[in-house]
Amino acid sequence: MKCLHITQEYAPLFSEGGLGLSSAALPAALHSRYGIEHDLVLPYYPWLLEQQGLRTEAVLTLPERRMGGVQARATVHRLLDGPGHGRLFLIQADPWYDRVGIYRDASYRPFEDETARAAFFGWCVAEWIVRSDRSYGLVHGNDWQSGAAMAHLRDRLPSLPQLLTIHNALYQGPLGPGEPAEFDLPVPTGMAEPNSLLLSAALAADAVATCSPGYAGELLEAFRGSALGDTLRDRGLHGIVFGVDPELWDPAALDRSSVPFDASDATAGKRLNKEALQKHLGLWEDSDVPVIGVCSRLISEKGSDLLLEALSPLLRRERLQLVLVGPADAGLRTALDGLLADAPGHMAHTPRFDQDLAWLLYAGSDLTVMPSRTEPCGLNQLIAYRYGTLPVVSTVGGLSDTVTDLRRDPAAGTGFVIPELTARSVRVTVLEALDWMGSSPDRLNGTRRRIMREDWSWDRTASKYSHLYARLGQTEDP
């Protein structure tokens, strides 16, 4: 089978987070294990290609099209320097995508025309497929930005099977009255105009998947009685836990920023990496001070406000250290700057993703804290396991599927669960986690060794997706 994978990100070249990682890893795992080929298509981001010196080859120029008040022509390129097995195609439409940011401007605000630009991208994808007479056994769209492409393909190639993966339903690409017509968006016969591109994608799909069973249940409950909820129920919503790349996140890998170690020497390895992390960031150098490391966007949906409020008194009293890696929402910057000033030597923030620092952060941290308000899967807790770092998590989405509380089940537990989404509950849980870790070094070391050996690789995820691909594509089940 050959599939078309529609996405906005592809790690490590064009990525902000989990979507980029999954767009690279899932097709690769499906190819290596089941021989499923993929072409990937995403926008052409000029500044990212220029920064990395990437070369492309133009394969098709599309006719000019006016959409959202913008007259633009698009060119389809093939990336010549792409990693991995799949071919990457990029839709160049500079009036829409020649911006310093994939989704947001320099102040980390979403682009105001994000729905219109996604509608233009979607039309281009479908036009390219039809004009070039490309043949695929399945189209796999990701999130609302794939909605227009999937709607056009359903209209123009109605027998082509389509699968939608929802990575985060908080973002839907809202459509106002009349905008589906303005964007020339196909509407299924007998249906009212869709109110979002996410709904358009779901209507065009033959099946819908999301990133964990827990999040699937949350979506069906949250959208119960709405057009989106009815569509998700009718299509069948599959919750499939995502994975992490065991080679990218390998604590024993050489020639990285982190000191290599494995499960057999977890305690010694983590101590050496904590010392390296503290020295690298200019923190107070003391390997007995607990370090909490968080590699994430600092935004409300991640509970970052609760994290800062919960840990601020502990940081000011120098009872622990906090390392943050990731951009911060404007609303959190005042609190963040205040803490950085009040807790010198005990807090550090790098406002962008840095792979070298991420390796060192996971290797050198005792805990990672995720008080998320929504978390479709959560990759941070799965990456943390690879490094023997214990997660402290809320009870939402994929976190509830992947973290078992050590206080309730010391033999099989993997982390600590925050019972309530309040700053006080986050702080109490962190303190209880630290007490648990300090009460028995042998028990802690055994737990670290056990979680480091768990399999949360993409092979598990690919196995379930391969069955779904086979059913939709009407091929033999692997």
SS (H, E, C) 326-385: CCECHHHHHHHHHHHHHCCCCEEEECCCCHHHHHHHHHHCCEEEECCCCCCCCCHHHHHH
Place of tokens 């919750």: 239
Quick one: tokens of 265?
Answer: 């020497």
pLDDT at 15: 87
Q: What is the DSSP string of 181-212?
A: HHTT----TTPPPPSBHHHHHHHH-SEEEES-
Mapping DSSP to helix (H, G, I), strand (E, B) and coil, where does residue 366 land? coil
Tell me if the pTM is above 0.85. Answer: yes
Q: Name which of 99-113, 271-285, 351-365, 451-465 the model is least confident about.
A: 99-113
Note the pLDDT tens digit of each residue in 415-431.
Answer: 999 999 999 999 999 99
pLDDT at 476: 62
Mean pLDDT, residues 209-227 taken together: 97
Bridge partners, 3 (sequence order): 38, 138
Note the pLDDT tens digit of each residue in 372-416.
Answer: 999 999 999 999 999 999 999 999 999 999 999 999 999 999 999
CB 234 within 8 A of CB 212: no
pLDDT at 478: 65
pLDDT at 475: 67
pLDDT at 108: 78
pLDDT at 261: 98
Instruction: Supply the mean pLDDT for the chain.
Output: 95
Mean pLDDT, residues 214-242 taken together: 96
Note the pLDDT tens digit of each residue in 319-337.
Answer: 999 999 998 988 899 999 9
Does residue 174 have a pLDDT over 90?
A: yes
Q: How far is it, in rounded angstroms, from Cα 20 to Cα 12?
A: 7
- Percentage of the chain modeled with pLDDT above 70: 99
pLDDT at 477: 67
Mean pLDDT, residues 294-320 taken together: 95
Closest CA relative to residue 9, chosen from 70, 88, 114: 88
Does residue 307 have a pLDDT over 80?
A: yes
Q: Name which of 186-190, 199-203, 318-322 the model is least confident about.
A: 186-190
Note the pLDDT tens digit of each residue in 257-303.
Answer: 999 999 999 999 999 999 999 999 999 999 999 999 999 989 999 99
Q: Name the more confident of 368 and 354.
A: 368
Mean pLDDT, residues 71-77 taken together: 96
pLDDT at 81: 83
Quick one: tokens of 426?
Answer: 């986050």
pLDDT at 208: 98
pLDDT at 401: 97
